[in-house]
Amino acid sequence: MAADAPPAAQAPASENLTLARVFGNPDLNGPAPRALKLSPDGKLVTLLRNRPDEKERYDLWAMDTTSGQWRMLVDSKKVGTGAALSEAEKMQRERARIGDNKGIVSYDWAPDGNSLLVPLDGDLYLARLDGQARKLVGGGVLNPLISPRGTYVSYVRDQNLVIQPLAGGAAKQLTDDGKANVHWGEAEFVAQEEMDRTRGYWWSDDDRLVAVERFDESPVGIVTRAAIGAEGTKVYDQRYPAAGTPNALVELFVIDPMSGAKVKVDLGSNPDIYLARVDWAKGGKTLYVQRESRDQKTLDMLAVDPATGKASVLFSEKSTERSWINLSDSYHFMPDGSLVWWSERDGYGHLYHYGKGKWVQLTKGPWVVTNLVGVDEKLGRLYFLANKDETLEQQLYRVDIAKPGAVTRLTELGWTNNAVMDKAAMRVMVTRSNANQPPQIYLSDTSGKRLAWIEENALVSGHPYFPFVAAHRPTQYGTLKAADGSTLYWEMITPPLEPGKKYPVFFEHYGGPGTTQQVLHQWKKPIAQYIVSQGWIYFQIDNRGSNYRGKAFEDQLYHAMGTVEVADQVAGANYLKSLPFVDGAKVTTYGWSYGGYMSIKMLQQAPGVFAAAVAGAPVTKWELYDTHYTERYLGDPRTDPTSYSSSDALQDTAKIRDPLLLVHGMSDDNVVFENSTLFAARMQSQARPFEMMFYPGHTHRVAGPGISEHLWGTILGFLDREVKDKK
């Protein structure tokens, strides 16, 4: 199957893409707004919009939902101070993968809808709808929020939780021993990096109580991380919970903001657990806590009495022996005390209703609910994203609690969608794209009817990508069978094929467990089109172990990383070699992070299959990676060292005989730089030839003005030299 090319009847003769233009301003994808929200009264759509002349910088904008008129609420260049961020905020941004963003990166609506809380350059501002902004707090603020009823502004400063009356008045510090290794109101490293939990405190909906995490990193091992920059090196003693080593000690307290009184929550007798999620029941009568076991095979839902801290287990999710629990944010506590809950208990991620001790399955089938978008509590109606009708697309659906299984699709086939709803689930903001249309955003009602464009992003004259539309190459999709009979989906973009000519292949992969599906009916970043314009075929395949395909598909990587996912990528390469227009001697492969790890494993397990490989920021020794991610899939190295030794990328370096380029940011605090230095040392000790390119001052994401162009120039220069241009 193939996606038609975008209409080009009115397009001019195509310009030639260059790397400088791919990564230059304005963004070729068109506007890239983020953090979409509806005001409490539904009259305004707000979002962060990047600048045409500086695509990494974001300002706060609002659109009137009636008139469609836009206005800038906060200009980050006029309001911000440009002060350097604290190391704590830099690390939080790195965990959120927005480390290169400038200006405004988040905001929070006041409940009355008359103002917004805007963090900027470490300060905290209150922005009014007339565009005026006043500074509330100066310097070093983390995790700011307006409490649900608008009584307080809360934030973390110097590792303690602080509240301040929104109407004005003195700030009050609710905790006082936050210093050194003790933090209040923050999420610990693995919660931010691996658990999709970025916050460490939670207000009850009546502003009467706040649940606050306290964590102590004293037991966590120290990694002396050298952040090697262009001018000098900074050394950080970072508390990094490597696999098989102690985690931070996490506690939870309920605090009365008026009196400051604290009640400790009983999280159980075993301190070696994960604090996964925290939520309040309506009216603050019960605190719900999701407690995950260290081996991630059990997830307990605790019901906590906030007055005493006493907890009882409401229910538990348990994995099978050779599997794990995937955490989710797709759940909702209903006003009657019942719960809408996402679970993989039948082998696929689906929605359930839990009330009075009974479970009712609301969705069912060999497909996956990927996100619970909104809940209309009055009607008992749920809105969710899923791949029910097409494996390669996310569509928006609805189902009523009273009518299990009666699922209605609200969005149009042929697109991959994301969606955000207001709190009352009355309006939807849909973001969609396909292979020929960059992301569009529109406002719709609950039937799916489009009410207004928020960002049409049409590929017409004036769009940054319009000069290149005529040369845009279509994406083809297809399937292969894995060794166990599983269906594997692939995508391919080719140059205009000349009869009898054979073409080299740029084969991209990621491939790790728990990863977002890569092959989708969605817009691809223009770098893929640039690669094709240089005479390469672009190819990608989703292997066993990736998500959104059910647990049986994903669980094959349990204690077996570097096995079936590598075999599936090799199967993709062998399929390519069978095509008459592919030069079988010139199939290359590239990956970053887990994909970088796989690049190395492919060269080790299938020598000669790939003409060359690029490994970006690879994990080469899994004992160097963090507890929550690594132990989920490989177990504890203290009890199962074999899974680690067989999965690493260091044991078989002597088998590598194909050209390899190793790339890494020299200040990476996620996949620490030691992974690449260990691998490089091993290759050198065995006199194995390879190339390296390391980036001073860059973390796990090597990107930015000039840097992105250099990185891709290096990658493609290596592949041209070693493969494409080689006779």
* pLDDT tens sequence across 281-299: 999 999 999 999 999 999 9
CA geometry: angle at 302 spanning 298 and 308, to 5°?
145
Instruction: Give the C-alpha distances (Å, rounded to integers) separating 387 from 345, 363, 488.
Output: 18, 12, 15
Q: Which residue ranges form the domains of the chain, and what is each CATH number?
A: 31-140 (2.120.10.30), 169-327 (2.140.10.30), 350-452 (2.120.10.30), 473-724 (3.40.50.1820)
Q: Can you give the pLDDT at residue 669?
A: 85
Instruction: Tell me the chain's radius of gyration from C-alpha atoms.
Output: 26
In the block, residue with structure tokens 């132990």: 631
Phi-psi region of 35 (alpha: psi -120 to 50; beta: other; left: phi over 0): left
Q: Which two tokens stand for residue 273?
A: 């657990």
Strands 537-541 and 437-444: unpaired
Strand partners, 72: 61
| Residue 254 main-chain phi, psi, to 5 deg | -105, 125
Q: Which two tokens stand for residue 440?
A: 């569009």
| Residue 535 main-chain phi, psi, to 5 deg | 100, 5
C-alpha–C-alpha distance, residues 457 and 550, integer Å: 34
Strands 298-304 and 287-293: antiparallel
C-alpha–C-alpha distance, residues 640 and 616, integer Å: 28
Extract the residue ranges of the chain whose pLDDT is less than 70: 1-13, 99, 225-230
CA geometry: angle at 412 spanning 406 and 416, to 5°?
100
C-alpha–C-alpha distance, residues 140 and 499, integer Å: 63
Indicate the helix (H) or strand (E) that contains 576.
helix 564-577
C-alpha–C-alpha distance, residues 665 and 620, integer Å: 15
Q: At what angle do helices 564-577 and 594-605 cross, to 10 degrees?
A: 70
Q: Catalytic site residue 700?
A: yes
pTM of the model: 0.95
Q: For residue range 318-346, list pLDDT tens digits in order.
A: 999 999 999 999 999 999 999 999 999 99
DSSP 5-58: PPP-TTPPSPPPP-HHHHTSSS-TT----EEEEE-TTSSEEEEEEEETTEEEEE
Q: Catalytic site residue 593?
A: yes
- Which of the residues 39, 330, 444, 593 is marked catalytic? 593
Q: Which of 321, 385, 273 is nearest to 551 (CA)?
A: 321
Q: Can you give the pLDDT at residue 235?
A: 76
- Which of the residues 204, 626, 700, 708 is marked catalytic? 700
Strand partners, 333: 339
C-alpha–C-alpha distance, residues 22 and 324, integer Å: 40
C-alpha–C-alpha distance, residues 568 and 19, integer Å: 31
Indicate the helix (H) or strand (E) that contains 551.
helix 551-554
Strand partners, 375: 382
Q: Are 115 and 126 in contact (CB under 8 A)?
A: yes
Q: Can the peptide bond before residue 499 be classed as cis, meaning omega within 30 degrees of 0?
A: no
Strands 612-616 and 660-665: parallel
Exposure string for 231-242, b = 16+ CB within 10 A, e = fewer = eeeeebebbbbb
Q: Can you give the pLDDT at residue 229?
A: 61
Q: Can you give the pLDDT at residue 9?
A: 44
Q: Are 448 and 410 in contact (CB under 8 A)?
A: yes
Q: Are 385 and 417 in contact (CB under 8 A)?
A: yes
- Which of the residues 59, 121, 568, 668 is marked catalytic? 668
